[in-house]
Structure 1
Amino acid sequence: MMVSAPVLAQVAPTPAQTTPAAPQTAPATAADPTQTAQPAAGAATPTQAAPADGQVQATGSQIAQVVDTQFPTYDKDGDGKLNKTEFGQWMVALKSQTDPSTKADAPATKKWVGTAFAQADTDKDKEVSKTELTGFLSQGQG
């Protein structure tokens, strides 16, 4: 299953934020329509809130698939890692999917990208690998 950029944009965490997974319930079966819907295995606990916008979040494997597919598009120098500029272009593109008013050169956007880059660059080598990016985008997924 291919996950589109808008789906990935829905899971791109705001720096320093993790989003709890949306509660999932299993539907009543056709064999027993009186059965009460029960939480699906691995569903969020009742204390976790669903996303306010009601959007479905992508799974970690879907995020990894999108990262694998789209990484070369943003890795302009083809070195297998994203520098801060390459990373920023991708994050702005993702953010623009859910907020069309996003401006790459706006001070708030630059600050957001800088914070996101610092969080994603877990080994602090000033570059973000596919693994680091997948981990960053998967924050809050469960």
Structure 2
Amino acid sequence: MLKSVLLASAMLVSAPALAQDMPQSTPADPAPAQTMPATPDTAAPSSKTDATVADSTATTQPAPASPAQIAEVVDAEFPTYDKDADGEITEAEFGQWMVALRSATDPATDAQSAEVQTWVGQAFASADTDQSEKVSKAELTTFLSQGAS
């Protein structure tokens, strides 16, 4: 009995995951409903289906990056923001990088706003673990890895 319940639970949990992995097939022939005006009875189920698909797409978020992926990005991008090429970035350079990262996820980010400036200051203080007023590659990788987990 318990095995049956566990098997049924596993199937219920895995069905949505398997459905996401399957490619969507497109019909070979155009649907007749496209050429004829839809009646209210036939339009209602499709609008519910569209809303359900939109909701599931909107709530699906990408998986967080692994520490190895974060280290690769830091290694690749660090020279871009290390303007004086001393191997460490200042608070201003760090701020430019953090605003660029935040703008990628939230295009409405205003780099000059007090909220963003406060956020950058707090992030820099957290990232600068040795209190040297500069952030090294290792410190930045550790800081960004903490945010991803």
TM beyond 0.5: yes
| Matched letter for residue 120 of structure 2 | V
Look up the match of 1:74: 81
Ranked by relative contact order (alpha carbons within 8 Å, sequence separation 6 or more), the top structure is 1
Within 2, Cα distance between the matches of 1:141 and 1:114?
19
Paired AA for residue 135 in structure 1 = T
**Structure 1 segments of 4+ aligned residues over 3 angstroms from their partners:** none
Q: Could you report, residue by residue, the CA deviation over 1:37-90 in whole angstroms, capped at 9, with x for unpaired residues?
A: 6xxxxxxxxxxxxxx752211100000000000000000010100000000000
Secondary structure of the 1:116 match is: helix
- Partners of 1:123 and 1:87 lie apart in 2 by 15
In the alignment, the residues of structure 1 paired with residue 123 and residue 76 of structure 2 have an alpha-carbon distance, to the nearest angstrom, of 21
Cα displacement (A) at 1:141: 4.6
Task: Identify if the C-alpha distance between structure 1 residues 140 and 85 changes in structure 2 by more than 3 Å, giving closer, same or farther.
Answer: closer
Residue 124 of structure 1 and its aligned partner are, at CA, apart by 0.4
Unpaired runs of 5+ residues, structure 2, are: 1-10, 15-58
Letter paired with 1:138: S
Among 54, 60, 63, the residue aligned to 2:61 = 54
Partner of 2:128: 121
The alpha-carbon distance between structure 1 residues 123 and 54, as it changes in their structure 2 partners (threshold 3 A), is same
Percent sequence identity is: 55
2:143 corresponds to:
136
Structure 1 runs not aligned, ≥5 long: 1-33, 38-51
Aligned-CA RMSD value: 1.7
Q: With structure 1 as the length reference, what TM-score do the two structures score?
A: 0.62
Match of 1:22 in 2: none
Paired residues in the alignment total 94
**Amino acid paired to 2:127:** A
In structure 2, the CA distance between the partners of 1:124 and 1:53, relative to structure 1 (3 Å rule), is farther
Aligned mates of 2:147, 2:128 — CA distance in 1: 17
Residue of structure 2 equivalent to 1:102: 109
Please state if 1:111 is matched with 2:118: yes
Report the 3-state secondary structure (helix = DSSP H, G, I; strand = E; otherwise coil) of the residue aligned with 1:138. Answer: helix
**Aligned counterparts, 1:36-47, within 5 A:** none
